[in-house]
Copies of this chain bind each other. A is one copy, B any other.
Amino acid sequence: MRIETTPVPGLLVVHLDVHGDNRGWFKENWQREKMVAAGLPDFGPVQQNISFNATAGTIRGVHAEPWDKYVSVAAGRAFGAWVDLREGDAFGTTFWTELDPQTAVFVPRGVANSFQVLEDGTAYTYLVNDHWSADAVYANVNLLDPALAIPWPLPVAEMSDKDRAHPVLADVEPMAPRRT
Protein backbone atom coordinates (compact mmCIF):
# COMPACT_ATOMS: atom_id res chain seq x y z
CA MET A 1 0.00 0.00 0.00
CA ARG A 2 1.29 3.42 -0.99
CA ILE A 3 -0.28 6.90 -0.97
CA GLU A 4 0.38 9.65 -3.56
CA THR A 5 -0.56 13.32 -3.64
CA THR A 6 -2.14 14.97 -6.70
CA PRO A 7 -2.38 18.53 -8.09
CA VAL A 8 -5.68 18.95 -6.15
CA PRO A 9 -4.80 19.84 -2.52
CA GLY A 10 -5.81 17.01 -0.19
CA LEU A 11 -6.90 14.64 -2.99
CA LEU A 12 -4.89 11.44 -2.46
CA VAL A 13 -4.44 8.32 -4.59
CA VAL A 14 -4.11 5.10 -2.58
CA HIS A 15 -2.45 2.13 -4.29
CA LEU A 16 -3.84 -1.01 -2.66
CA ASP A 17 -2.39 -4.51 -2.36
CA VAL A 18 -4.64 -7.00 -4.15
CA HIS A 19 -4.12 -10.71 -3.39
CA GLY A 20 -5.15 -12.93 -6.32
CA ASP A 21 -5.78 -16.68 -6.10
CA ASN A 22 -7.91 -19.48 -7.63
CA ARG A 23 -11.09 -17.91 -6.19
CA GLY A 24 -10.59 -14.35 -7.47
CA TRP A 25 -8.99 -11.66 -5.33
CA PHE A 26 -9.03 -10.11 -1.86
CA LYS A 27 -8.15 -6.57 -0.77
CA GLU A 28 -8.14 -4.53 2.39
CA ASN A 29 -9.96 -1.65 0.72
CA TRP A 30 -9.57 0.55 3.80
CA GLN A 31 -7.33 -0.17 6.79
CA ARG A 32 -7.42 2.69 9.26
CA GLU A 33 -4.19 2.04 11.18
CA LYS A 34 -1.81 1.42 8.26
CA MET A 35 -3.36 4.10 6.06
CA VAL A 36 -3.31 6.81 8.72
CA ALA A 37 0.37 5.96 9.32
CA ALA A 38 0.92 6.35 5.54
CA GLY A 39 -0.73 9.80 5.43
CA LEU A 40 -4.48 9.24 4.97
CA PRO A 41 -6.60 11.52 7.18
CA ASP A 42 -8.30 9.68 10.06
CA PHE A 43 -11.61 10.62 8.45
CA GLY A 44 -14.03 8.61 10.60
CA PRO A 45 -16.56 7.09 8.18
CA VAL A 46 -20.20 6.83 9.30
CA GLN A 47 -21.77 5.65 6.04
CA GLN A 48 -20.84 3.25 3.23
CA ASN A 49 -22.53 3.68 -0.15
CA ILE A 50 -22.55 1.35 -3.15
CA SER A 51 -23.65 2.27 -6.65
CA PHE A 52 -24.02 -0.50 -9.19
CA ASN A 53 -23.70 0.53 -12.83
CA ALA A 54 -25.14 -1.91 -15.37
CA THR A 55 -23.69 -0.55 -18.62
CA ALA A 56 -20.16 0.46 -19.66
CA GLY A 57 -20.12 4.21 -20.36
CA THR A 58 -22.55 5.10 -17.53
CA ILE A 59 -21.49 8.34 -15.89
CA ARG A 60 -22.26 10.01 -12.51
CA GLY A 61 -21.22 13.40 -11.06
CA VAL A 62 -19.64 15.89 -10.70
CA HIS A 63 -20.78 16.25 -7.05
CA ALA A 64 -19.17 18.07 -4.12
CA GLU A 65 -20.95 17.34 -0.86
CA PRO A 66 -20.21 18.63 2.63
CA TRP A 67 -18.19 15.56 3.67
CA ASP A 68 -15.04 13.64 2.71
CA LYS A 69 -15.25 10.52 0.52
CA TYR A 70 -13.02 7.47 0.10
CA VAL A 71 -13.88 5.90 -3.28
CA SER A 72 -12.96 2.70 -5.16
CA VAL A 73 -14.39 -0.20 -7.16
CA ALA A 74 -15.52 -3.61 -5.83
CA ALA A 75 -16.09 -5.13 -9.31
CA GLY A 76 -15.24 -3.83 -12.78
CA ARG A 77 -13.28 -0.65 -13.53
CA ALA A 78 -14.04 3.05 -13.73
CA PHE A 79 -12.42 6.26 -14.87
CA GLY A 80 -12.55 8.80 -12.01
CA ALA A 81 -12.39 12.60 -12.41
CA TRP A 82 -12.29 15.32 -9.72
CA VAL A 83 -12.80 19.07 -9.80
CA ASP A 84 -11.84 21.41 -6.96
CA LEU A 85 -14.93 23.54 -6.18
CA ARG A 86 -13.63 25.08 -2.95
CA GLU A 87 -13.38 28.85 -2.65
CA GLY A 88 -9.80 29.93 -3.32
CA ASP A 89 -6.85 29.64 -5.68
CA ALA A 90 -7.28 25.97 -6.53
CA PHE A 91 -10.93 26.43 -7.70
CA GLY A 92 -11.34 24.60 -11.01
CA THR A 93 -8.23 22.41 -10.67
CA THR A 94 -8.90 18.93 -12.11
CA PHE A 95 -7.41 15.47 -11.75
CA TRP A 96 -8.32 12.12 -13.30
CA THR A 97 -7.12 8.55 -13.07
CA GLU A 98 -8.35 5.01 -13.68
CA LEU A 99 -10.03 3.27 -10.73
CA ASP A 100 -9.07 -0.37 -11.12
CA PRO A 101 -9.29 -2.71 -8.09
CA GLN A 102 -5.76 -1.61 -7.02
CA THR A 103 -6.70 2.08 -6.75
CA ALA A 104 -8.71 4.08 -4.18
CA VAL A 105 -8.99 7.87 -3.95
CA PHE A 106 -9.54 10.09 -0.90
CA VAL A 107 -11.68 13.08 -1.92
CA PRO A 108 -11.75 15.96 0.56
CA ARG A 109 -14.93 17.95 1.25
CA GLY A 110 -15.52 20.53 -1.50
CA VAL A 111 -13.75 18.57 -4.23
CA ALA A 112 -16.39 17.32 -6.68
CA ASN A 113 -16.41 13.63 -7.54
CA SER A 114 -17.39 11.81 -10.75
CA PHE A 115 -16.78 8.62 -12.67
CA GLN A 116 -17.53 6.73 -15.85
CA VAL A 117 -17.65 2.95 -15.65
CA LEU A 118 -15.46 1.11 -18.15
CA GLU A 119 -17.15 -2.29 -17.84
CA ASP A 120 -20.73 -3.54 -17.59
CA GLY A 121 -21.62 -4.39 -14.00
CA THR A 122 -19.15 -2.09 -12.25
CA ALA A 123 -19.78 -1.70 -8.49
CA TYR A 124 -18.48 1.57 -7.04
CA THR A 125 -18.16 1.80 -3.27
CA TYR A 126 -17.44 4.75 -0.98
CA LEU A 127 -17.11 5.60 2.68
CA VAL A 128 -18.19 9.07 3.84
CA ASN A 129 -17.80 10.88 7.17
CA ASP A 130 -21.21 12.49 7.48
CA HIS A 131 -24.74 11.19 6.96
CA TRP A 132 -26.32 12.02 3.62
CA SER A 133 -29.32 14.32 3.58
CA ALA A 134 -31.31 15.53 0.60
CA ASP A 135 -31.22 19.02 2.14
CA ALA A 136 -27.45 19.42 2.54
CA VAL A 137 -25.78 22.19 0.51
CA TYR A 138 -23.99 20.75 -2.51
CA ALA A 139 -21.84 22.22 -5.26
CA ASN A 140 -22.16 20.46 -8.61
CA VAL A 141 -20.61 21.01 -12.01
CA ASN A 142 -21.60 19.58 -15.39
CA LEU A 143 -19.84 16.35 -16.39
CA LEU A 144 -19.76 17.48 -20.01
CA ASP A 145 -18.61 21.12 -19.51
CA PRO A 146 -16.00 21.68 -22.27
CA ALA A 147 -14.06 23.97 -19.90
CA LEU A 148 -13.28 20.92 -17.71
CA ALA A 149 -12.08 18.93 -20.74
CA ILE A 150 -12.41 15.62 -18.90
CA PRO A 151 -11.30 12.91 -21.38
CA TRP A 152 -14.15 10.42 -20.76
CA PRO A 153 -12.85 7.18 -22.27
CA LEU A 154 -16.22 5.90 -23.60
CA PRO A 155 -19.25 7.42 -25.28
CA VAL A 156 -21.75 8.39 -22.57
CA ALA A 157 -24.27 5.57 -21.97
CA GLU A 158 -26.68 6.32 -19.10
CA MET A 159 -26.71 9.45 -16.94
CA SER A 160 -29.32 11.05 -14.61
CA ASP A 161 -31.52 14.02 -15.55
CA LYS A 162 -30.21 15.72 -12.41
CA ASP A 163 -26.63 15.44 -13.67
CA ARG A 164 -27.62 16.78 -17.11
CA ALA A 165 -28.93 19.94 -15.42
CA HIS A 166 -25.77 20.91 -13.47
CA PRO A 167 -24.15 24.27 -14.36
CA VAL A 168 -20.86 24.76 -16.20
CA LEU A 169 -17.84 25.70 -14.11
CA ALA A 170 -18.15 29.40 -14.93
CA ASP A 171 -21.58 29.43 -13.25
CA VAL A 172 -20.71 27.37 -10.15
CA GLU A 173 -20.94 29.00 -6.71
CA PRO A 174 -17.72 27.90 -4.90
CA MET A 175 -18.16 25.84 -1.75
CA ALA A 176 -17.44 27.80 1.45
CA PRO A 177 -15.24 26.27 4.18
CA ARG A 178 -17.04 24.36 6.92
CA ARG A 179 -18.45 26.61 9.62
CA THR A 180 -16.97 25.83 13.05
Chain A residues within 8 Å of B, Cβ to Cβ: 21-34, 45-55, 58, 60, 74-76, 101, 121-123, 125, 127, 131-132, 158-160
Contacting residues, chain B, for A60 (C-beta < 8 A): 23
Residue of B nearest to A76 (CB): B75
Main secondary structure of the interface of A (DSSP, over half): strand
Instruction: Given A31-B131, A52-B75, A75-B75, output 5 extra A-B contacts at Cβ < 8 Å.
Output: A23-B51, A33-B46, A50-B125, A74-B123, A75-B76
Q: Give the shortest distance, in Å, between A151 (CB) and chain B (any CB).
A: 21
Separation in Å of the A13 CB from the closest CB of chain B?
Answer: 17
**Mind listing 28 A-B residue pairs with CB under 8 Å?**
A21-B160, A23-B51, A23-B54, A23-B55, A23-B58, A23-B60, A23-B159, A24-B51, A24-B158, A28-B48, A28-B49, A28-B132, A29-B125, A30-B47, A31-B47, A31-B131, A33-B46, A34-B131, A45-B45, A48-B127, A50-B74, A50-B101, A50-B125, A52-B74, A74-B74, A75-B121, A75-B122, A123-B123
